[in-house]
Chain A
Amino acid sequence: MNTKVNFAGIEMKNPVTVASGTFGYGREYSGFFDLGKLGAIITKGTSLKPKSGNKPPRVCETASGMLNSIGLQNPGIEYFANNDLPFLRKFDTKIIVNACGSSVDEYVDLCKILNDLDIDAVELNLSCPNVKEGCMAFGNTYEGVKKVTSAVRKVLDKPLIVKLTPNVTDIASIAKGVEAGGADAVSLINTLLGMKIDIYKRKPILANNTGGLSGPAIKPVAVRMVYQVAQAVNIPIMGLGGIISGEDAIEFLLAGATTISIGAGNFIDPYTSIKTIEGIEEYMKKCKIENITDIIGKVEMN
């Protein structure tokens, strides 16, 4: 049984990664299991300068999921390079840095620094719904996505993944912008913009009013979008959105994803990613699948 995948030039021992913003920089989970069991770790969204994030409340629970509006709180790239990267490098896994900025120049400057760091790939965050500038503002048009992607491509030799927002009318056209900009892969979906109201206070629960919806509630939307993007582009896909089990992961692979990410699932059980790897192996055994790559995109539409 072979769970190895090559994702945009990154050799991974299995297709399971942990999504940006749900795994910090790995430290907190390293007490629960060997991080080397993961295909890759995607870091918390990291910017050029430290960011202190949004006012609380920043999270709330919703039906089979949660809303968050963290606002990309992070210690900045310099702190990451000096403190977190040496720690992460101790584990036999791939390191993908999620990069965020508020202008094209900021993305470019950040990626120049990332290009010289000992990391395996960059995931460009063009999809955070919780900050006023940058991110999703670039991520919701073909032109915007293409512009940032091609600007970053010029300074980055490492594999480049672009993370897409689902808050658009036609996800396939956005993915084409990523491909045209020269990226090696796309990841989707980031969170769906949502709101929850406290009916007694008559106010939204989140201080920022709106936030990003994640968890099993969004999984069908994510699977549909992965399928649509798989039909539209030739670059590989990392699928995510509500995965909490091996069975969930298999759905994404069948829809066309080469790798998957565990996001909010990490919050409800520190072992969700490990259980997902085991679940994939069980499925392979049960269905007599020799190579995990044999099932990628193998859904047969009705």
Chain B
Amino acid sequence: MPKQLLAQLVQKEEIIKNVYKFSIKADEIVQISKPGNFIEIRVTDQAEPFLRRPISIYNLDKQNGILEFIFQVKGKGTSLLSRKQIGDKIDIVGPLGFGTFKTDKYKKLAIIGGGIGIFPLYQLAKEAKNEEKQVNGYLGFRNKDFVMLEKEFKNVTNNLTITTDDGSYKNKGFAIDYLIKDMEKEKYDCIYACGPIPMLKAIQKYANENNIECQISLEEKMACGLGVCLGCAVKTAKSPKEKPEYFHVCKGGPVFNSKDVEI
């Protein structure tokens, strides 16, 4: 069951321009969180901006009860959040999402992420590596200015491939192309993906066509994050177009099996 906490901000860092990493003291939530979970943050105690911001969990330090999340300043809410100071209390609800990354059945994992979608893959890779699974990472960025967390992901993967769309840093092209090329040599048991929709669509298509297990973390506009408002609907793959059925990102997800959803 999720909890609400006023969590103290203990560390704050702008990791690349306009992208912030926050470390907050949230022991009660940290202890029950799993890779793939997210939290909802209320950025003000006023009525404006109104809704909480759903933000994925980047890292869980269970020993010290520290939760880390990373966000890009995009609008009013994230801008207000970025101005919080060390020592400030942040109103969070979490952990949210019953659909989390599952690794128990697999030994060789590939994680693939794009841009600001890479964050929830970190805790997943960290835990899998601790369990002595093989974890190979593929992270794609627009260009060299957007590359982030290379060192951190290197520490939690056996092999890390960084790509940029324009080739301004390391490998040129899309991360998925490098993943597919590697798959010709060594087959992964499961692919874990999070990132922009076109990238997720391409990964889903590849995995489903080749019958490879694949878990993708999705985003949709949401209000409550608890499964109450039914706002964050995502169509099930099995339901027909004329009579669509829906899962909800906050409840069934945010992580889904790639065969179950239409994105």
Among candidates A65, A73, A270, residue contacting B50 with C-beta atoms closer than 8 Å:
A65
Interface residues of B in 1-25 (CB under 8 A from A): 1-4
Quick check: B232 and A56 within 8 Å, CB to CB? yes
The residue on B at minimum CB distance from A270 is B4
Quick check: B229 and A216 within 8 Å, CB to CB? no
Interface residues of B in 203-254 (CB under 8 A from A): 220-224, 226-235, 239, 243-246
Quick check: A59 and B221 within 8 Å, CB to CB? yes
Which residues of the partner chain B approach A205 to less than 8 Å between Cβ atoms?
221
User: Could you tell me the distance in whole angstroms from the C-beta of A20 to the nearest C-beta in chain B?
Assistant: 11
A29 on interface, CB distance cutoff 8 Å: yes
Which residues of the partner chain A approach B243 to less than 8 Å between Cβ atoms?
52
B55 on interface, CB distance cutoff 8 Å: no
Q: Which of B91, B226, B229, B235 has the most CB of A within 10 A?
A: B229
Which residues of the partner chain B approach A28 to less than 8 Å between Cβ atoms?
224, 226-228
B73 on interface, CB distance cutoff 8 Å: no
Contacts A58-B233, A59-B222, A66-B51 given; indicate if A267 touches B4 (C-beta within 8 A).
no
B93 on interface, CB distance cutoff 8 Å: yes
Q: Which of B49, B226, B228 has the most CB of A within 10 A?
A: B228
A268 on interface, CB distance cutoff 8 Å: yes
Which residues of the partner chain B approach A24 to less than 8 Å between Cβ atoms?
226-228
The 4 closest A-B pairs by CB, nearest first: A31-B1, A59-B231, A216-B47, A24-B228
Which residues of the partner chain B approach A267 to less than 8 Å between Cβ atoms?
51-52, 223-224, 228-229
A57 on interface, CB distance cutoff 8 Å: yes
A55 on interface, CB distance cutoff 8 Å: yes
B126 on interface, CB distance cutoff 8 Å: no
User: Could you tell me the distance in whole angstroms from the C-beta of B53 to the nearest C-beta in chain A?
Assistant: 10
A21 on interface, CB distance cutoff 8 Å: yes
B48 on interface, CB distance cutoff 8 Å: yes
User: Could you tell me the distance in whole angstroms from the C-beta of A143 to the nearest C-beta in chain B?
Assistant: 32
Quick check: A268 and B227 within 8 Å, CB to CB? no
Quick check: B2 and A68 within 8 Å, CB to CB? no
Compute how far the CA of A205 lies from the CA of B228 in the bound complex, rounded to whole angstroms: 21
Contacts A22-B229, A68-B231, A73-B246 given; indicate if A58 touches B221 (C-beta within 8 A).
yes
The residue on A at minimum CB distance from B226 is A28
Quick check: A59 and B50 within 8 Å, CB to CB? no
11 contacts between A and B (CB under 8 A): A24-B228, A32-B4, A52-B239, A55-B233, A56-B246, A57-B231, A59-B229, A61-B49, A68-B223, A73-B230, A215-B50
User: Could you tell me the distance in whole angstroms from the C-beta of A30 to the nearest C-beta in chain B?
Assistant: 9
B259 on interface, CB distance cutoff 8 Å: no
Compute how far the CA of A65 lies from the CA of B49 in the bound complex, rounded to whole angstroms: 8
The residue on B at minimum CB distance from A26 is B228
Interface residues of B in 73-109 (CB under 8 A from A): 91, 93
Contacts A52-B244, A61-B49 given; indicate if A70 touches B230 (C-beta within 8 A).
yes
Among candidates B42, B221, B231, B232, residue contacting A268 with C-beta atoms closer than 8 Å:
B42
A79 on interface, CB distance cutoff 8 Å: no
The residue on A at minimum CB distance from B245 is A52
Per-residue CB proximity of A194-222 to B under 8 Å, as 1/0? 00000000000100000000011000000
Which residues of the partner chain A approach B3 to less than 8 Å between Cβ atoms?
31-32
Quick check: B221 and A266 within 8 Å, CB to CB? no
A264 on interface, CB distance cutoff 8 Å: yes
Among candidates A54, A70, A244, A271, residue contacting B229 with C-beta atoms closer than 8 Å:
A70
A23 on interface, CB distance cutoff 8 Å: yes
Compute how far the CA of A23 lies from the CA of B245 in the bound complex, rounded to whole angstroms: 21
Which residues of the partner chain A approach B47 to less than 8 Å between Cβ atoms?
64-65, 215-216, 244
